[in-house]
């Protein structure tokens, strides 16, 4: 599936970043992506697997992402 949102945490917690849209937010565990985006960037993510970490949902595994930069800010 596809997921789109705005980055609210990039690499401040290491390999975990967070994206959010008007319906909610989710963490994505991917070091490559967390180091490639900045807070405020609009992104689209495909692939990955939804799993639980510390009883919270997160996306991990192989993801493909596109960063559109800080559009709409």
72 vs 18, residue with greater confidence:
18
> What is the C-alpha separation between 68 and 66, in angstroms, rounded?
6
Q: Please check the confidence at residue 6 and state whether its pLDDT lies above 70.
A: yes
What is the reported pTM?
Answer: 0.88
**Terminal-to-terminal C-alpha distance of the chain:** 26
**Which phi and psi (to 5°) does residue 43 adopt?**
-135, 155
Pair of tokens at residue 3? 């997921």
Cβ distance 3 to 45 under 8 Å?
A: yes
Give the model's pLDDT for residue 72. Answer: 60
Give the model's pLDDT for residue 64. Answer: 95
| pLDDT tens, residue by residue, 8-59 | 999 999 999 999 999 999 999 999 999 999 999 999 999 999 999 899 899 9
């Amino acid at each position: 599936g596809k997921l789109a949102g705005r980055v609210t945490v990039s690499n401040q917690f290491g390999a975990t970043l967070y994206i959010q849209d008007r319906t909610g937010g989710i963490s994505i565990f991917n070091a490559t992506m967390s180091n490639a985006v900045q807070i405020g960037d609009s992104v689209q993510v495909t692939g990955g697997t939804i799993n639980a970490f510390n009883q919270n949902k997160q996306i991990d595994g192989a993801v493909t992402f596109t960063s559109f930069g800080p559009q709409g800010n």
